Amino acid sequence: MDARASTEQDLLQVLHEGRPVRPVRGTRAADLDGGRVLAWWEGFRDQVVARRGELDGVAGTLVETVLAADGEVAALPPDPDPGQLFDAVARGAGRVHGPLQPLAAWFGEMARVCAQEVGTHQLALAAEHVGAPGPDGDPPVLQAMAPAARALSDADAAGVPAVTALTAAYRAAADGARGTVHEGSVDPVALTVAWFFERGTVV
């Protein structure tokens, strides 16, 4: 491979901490349909509930948020499409006034841009509406969401599949969450956001 071709290839890679995030192969390289989005949501719900003991101080609010959203999901007709799923999650999560409100708003943007499938471009479009943390680093939810949003935008520019984009977003969110460490503990809200993107990588 000549130097020019190598440079062009490098420009198409999604990098995180200098490491390439490579496209996955097979069915995991496809866009996400309703069944896979549902699996993503249910995996996240189960993780929050099962690991609530790690969510010091806000476990009750975070679990309440997730279960309120899940109640709306459970009321959907069989085989909902991604847009319906994200809209249900946004409605339920939006009813609980707590630290996950920015994530609930992002679910609403996902519902707006999704149709039958969720691809990297839709993820990036919704992420354009994610705010940035202020100079003091608050709120912690954005310290995880903002880098994840940037990773999704980069993934869209590189043209990689949705699960690969979510892998990059998870790594970015996890790094953002590490930046919230106080007295040896990661902020539980930032940790919850990282869990959300993590679950999207295994559907």
Q: Does the structure show a pLDDT above 70 at 87? A: yes
Distance between CA 203 and CA 197 in Å, rounded?
11
Share of the chain above pLDDT 70, in %: 82
Angle between helices 120-127 and 162-178 (to 10 degrees): 40
Q: Report whether 152 contacts 163 (CB < 8 A).
A: no
CA atoms of 90 and 38, how far apart (whole Å): 14
pTM (2 decimals)? 0.85
Least confident of 21-25, 46-50, 122-126, 160-164: 21-25
Distance CA 155, CA 125 (A): 11
Please report where in the chains the tokens 């309120």 appear, as a residue.
68
pLDDT over 70 (residue 89): yes
Task: Please state, in angstroms and rounded to a whole number, the distance separating the CA atoms of residues 179 and 148.
Answer: 14
> What pLDDT was estimated at residue 139?
87
pLDDT digits (tens, 9 = 90+) for 164-203: 999 999 999 999 999 998 888 899 999 999 999 999 998 8
Closest CA to 83 of 129, 29, 24, 37: 37
Give 74-84 pLDDT, tens digit per residue. Answer: 999 999 999 99
Domains and CATH numbers, the chain: 30-202 (1.25.40.340)
